[in-house]
Amino acid sequence: MALEGALKLKEISYIHAEGYPAAEMKHGPIALIDRFMPVVFIAMKDSTFEKVVSNIEEVVARDGVVIVVTDAEDGELDHLCEHVIRVPQTHHMLSPLLTVIPLQILSYYIAVLRGCDVDQPRNLAKSVTVE
C-alpha cells in the first residue's frame, strides 16, 4: 500500500514519493529526514507494528513530520505523530483495502492544494493500450 500511495501522489500532484517496507527505513531513506520531509506510515496492529513505531520514533528524532494511517485505537501513536488517520480494525487480508483509501484521498487533497488538475493528470493515459 505504501507503493500505491506513493504512486498516486506522483501521478496527480507531481511530487516525488517512494514507498518502502519498514525494514528498509534505515537503509537510505532515513538520511533524507528533516523538518521539511513529511513521512507517511502505515502502522497496522499486526506483527510489524513495533518495528513501524520504532521507525516513527527515528523520524520524530530527526524532526520529520509524521502522518500515520493506523487501526490502533489506544492512542499509542497520538503523541508521536503530527497527524493520525484511523481506519477500522479488520482481518489482515482486508487491511490494504482500508489503508489505500486515505492515501488516495491525501494525494487528492495535496494535488488540489498545489493547483493540479486531478481529473486530467499530465502524461498519463486514461487507458492502457497495447500495440
91-107 residue pLDDT tens: 999 999 999 999 999 99
> Binning pLDDT at 50, 70 and 90, where does residue 115 land?
very high
Q: What is the pLDDT of residues 28-67, one digit of tens each?
A: 888 999 999 899 999 999 999 999 999 999 999 999 999 9
DSSP string, 29-80: GGGG-STT-EEEEEE-SSTTHHHHHHHHHHHHHTT-EEEEEE---S-TTTTT
Which pLDDT band holds residue 19 (cuts at 50, 70, 90)?
very high
The larger pLDDT score, comparing residue 109 to residue 23, is at 109
